[in-house]
Amino acid sequence: MVDIVFSQLTDPFRIGLIFFLVLTAMRTRQNMGLLMPLGMGVVFIAILIPLTTAAGAAVGRTEAIGFGILSNAIILGIVLGGWAIWEKVRG
């Protein structure tokens, strides 16, 4: 379990998707809010990656999606923390 979550946490494709999800959510937060787009994006990415890359997966899709939601939430927290620090430094 730990190795699966670690591999998901260090996946550059997943990190990039979460980063650009945050950028898009920040740009549209006046109209859409922030919680729903980020939450749906986390779940969407967690489903998308195992369905498209699960040819030789060591775990089932359900487990991969569950661990993906956990990994995405951790990455999202890190990116949002970085965004908050960036905003404070910027002014």
Q: Using alpha carbons only, how large is the chain's radius of gyration in Å?
A: 14
Is there a contact between 47 and 62 (Cβ–Cβ < 8 Å)? Answer: no
Q: Tens of pLDDT along 17-68?
A: 999 999 999 999 999 899 999 999 999 999 999 888 865 577 888 999 999 9
Question: In the prediction, which pLDDT does 60 show?
Answer: 87
User: Where residue 72 falls among pLDDT bands split at 50, 70, 90?
Assistant: very high
Question: In the prediction, which pLDDT does 59 show?
Answer: 83
Question: In the prediction, which pLDDT does 80 show?
Answer: 95
Is there a contact between 13 and 49 (Cβ–Cβ < 8 Å)? Answer: yes
Question: In the prediction, which pLDDT does 41 show?
Answer: 96
Distance CA 87, CA 65 (A): 32
- Provide the number of structural domains found in the chain: 1
**Domain span at 81:** 2-90
Question: In the prediction, which pLDDT does 56 show?
Answer: 59
